[in-house]
Amino acid sequence: MMSILSDTARADVWAGAMRRFSQDKLSCGVTKEDLRAAVDALDTFLSDNATAVNSAIPQPARSSLSVTQKALLLMYVIDRRYLDGA
């Protein structure tokens, strides 16, 4: 099972998200603590469900692609679904 990110890595994600929100002027109605809790929860969810996400990829891609390649696929799908034009 994939382990969760370190506290430092989670803090980097959290800080990066806040900088992106600022840069893109994305209104943010939650506090820093709320945002950090969201980062932690998403990381924990991905850790807990890494096997299920991997299983959702059909063969032969699941076995042939590297972890990096599959992570990029997931990132591109999320980007297209939720960030396209953002």
Give the chain's length: 86
Q: Give the binding range for other proteins (CB under 8 A) out of 1-9, 11-19, 40-48, 58-66.
A: 11-19
37 makes contact with other proteins (CB under 8 A): no
* Nearest distance in Å: CB 45, other proteins: 21
Looking at beta carbons only, is 30 or 72 nearer to other proteins?
30
H-run or E-run covering 73: helix 67-78
CB burial class (10 A; 0-12, 13-18, 19+) of residue 70?
Answer: middle
Binding site for other proteins (CB under 8 A): 11, 14-15, 18-19, 21-23, 25-35
